[in-house]
Structure 1
Amino acid sequence: MQPTGPQSLDRALALVDAVAAAPGPVSAKALARLAGCSLSTAYHLLGPLTERGYLVRTARGYALGPALPRLHRSFLHQLAPAPGMADLLARLRRATGGEAYYTAYRGGVITVVDTTAPVTDTGNPFAPGRETRAHATAHGKALLARLTPKARRRYLAEHGMARLTPATITSAEALEAELLRVRAAGLAVSVGEADPAWTCLGVALPPAGEDRDAVHALSVSVPTEEFRRRPDAIRTALAEAAAGRI
């Protein structure tokens, strides 16, 4: 019997996730194994996913389809980022020599929405997508500092505070003290807290659009050794980018 209801939906989404995580097209047999279902079930679900454009079937297997860019455009539209965000990220990258990021909180979820880091740069630890390490990243701390205590507790209860490096903050009390400093300085800094090789700096942006529950942040990441050579220049460039002066 084919799965029905929520189980069928969950497996269909698992198939899309598996294709998205792969470096290239994936065979139906491999997708069935990754989703934990039979090959017949995989084909049963791949049909409508392909018809709706979420996936395409190629000679080498299944790949992401043309419906996904539309979803991403709609996602960006609903977040209502500052105008010219892509250009701003590019200017920030040139000014700092690091990778720049636009991140947003909405509905209890923090997402790295856009970045200047190439998709082929697998060494960069801050890839687009759902961010579950907000306690350890500068963009995450900049966003958490703007939330109400209730929303912040809910986020941390759901995602936890895993120790990622020896520098990671893992207690709620220490994080609250850190967020007080972030609010006072208007700047969040994470020196090797998410990845020992990287330092990131982040600032929350003014509210934009009609969704007042959404919070946005601009951030930059550089190798930790590079940050230690010129911390003031990187801080200044980020502040000027957030103010629209670069």
Structure 2
Amino acid sequence: MEHTSAVPQAVENSNAGSQFVQSLARGLDVIRAFDAEHPSMTLTDVAKLTGLSRATARRFLLTLADLGYVQTDGKHFELTSRVLQLGYSYLSSHTLPQLIDPVLQGLSARMRESSSASVLDGADVVYISRVHARSIMRVGISVGSRFPAYATSMGRVLLAHLPAADLEARLAGRELSALTPNTITDPAELRAELTRVRAQGYCLVDQELEIGLRSIAAPVFAPDGSVAAALNISMSTLPNGTGHDVDEAAALVLPELLAAAEQVRAALAARR
């Protein structure tokens, strides 16, 4: 089956100025020619797909092979994993919120609920990303908002993964106020809950921060195994909310939430 050209021909751009490096553009065209439909190609295949002559395509392929971006058995050419470094350079230039934001956008769109990310600051959680789907809390939430970690799903996820000494230091002298009738205020009960959260890999908090608010959070692991942040989805328990009970909410939300956390973990790993 003959390949049809699907690679953008940057070298044909009539708007290219005097600083335009045609050879670089052609080399990128060769790299982009490889995809899921064309993972392995002959010289002729690459030439047809890029619109380059066989001689030019050959020079670029052999140069890419010398640089380690392409491998060949003498007839067929394939990209190597080194090409991923080109993408890693982009990822490494982005901060944690910039990596998380698009993941939360997708998560919130799929679940039709608000989603957030936070980190610990002392005994509080600080929001570093927020996608607002609808009004749930009477108090507005935005990037920079702070809440007591002990009463929030993200806070408990972050506390649960701290070293024991660090956890004790953050909770020492901290009053566990009853923000609602459901709030855990007993230190021993909170520590038992944190142990459970760490073991199960997520946390569900049902109306402990505010009546009518239920949230589920999961950790985002950094490459060194520590927890870099927490992600959550917030849902309303009020009559105009989802209408799901606690178990139904967990079953509905948790798979998507864990997948989102894994997506951010992979992006963080790619920055190394």
TM-score, structure 1 normalization: 0.58
Aligned twin of 2:229? 216
Q: 1 CA distance for matches of 2:173 and 2:227?
A: 18
Contact 2:123 2:148 in 1 (8 A): no
**1:165 pairs with 2:170:** no
Percent sequence identity is 22
Aligned twin of 1:228? 244
Aligned twin of 2:221? 206
The 1:155/1:132 distance shift into structure 2, 3 A limit, reads farther
CA deviation vs aligned residue, 1:61-100 (integer Å, no higher than 9, x gap): xxxxxxxxxxxxxxxx999427631110111101221111
Contact 2:218 2:230 in 1 (8 A): yes
Q: Which has the higher contact order (CA 8 A, sep 6+)?
A: 1
Q: What aligned pairs does 1:80-119 form with structure 2 within 5 A after superposition?
A: 80-81=95-96, 84-105=99-120, 110-117=125-132
Contact 1:81 1:208 in 2 (8 A): no
The 1:79/1:171 distance shift into structure 2, 3 A limit, reads farther
Q: CA deviation at 1:181?
A: 0.9
Contact 1:199 1:222 in 2 (8 A): yes
Gaps of 5+ in 2: 1-91, 265-272
Q: 1 CA distance for matches of 2:152 and 2:212?
A: 13
Aligned twin of 2:68? none
**1:176 pairs with 2:202:** no
Contact 2:108 2:133 in 1 (8 A): no
Q: Which of these two proteins has the greater Rg computed from alpha carbons?
A: 2
Gaps of 5+ in 1: 1-76
Q: 1 CA distance for matches of 2:123 and 2:226?
A: 10
Q: What aligned pairs does 1:23-172 form with structure 2 within 5 A after superposition?
A: 80-81=95-96, 84-105=99-120, 110-117=125-132, 123=138, 126-157=141-172, 159-172=174-187
Contact 1:125 1:195 in 2 (8 A): no
Contact 1:200 1:222 in 2 (8 A): yes
One-letter amino acid of the counterpart of residue 188, structure 2: E
The 1:164/1:122 distance shift into structure 2, 3 A limit, reads closer
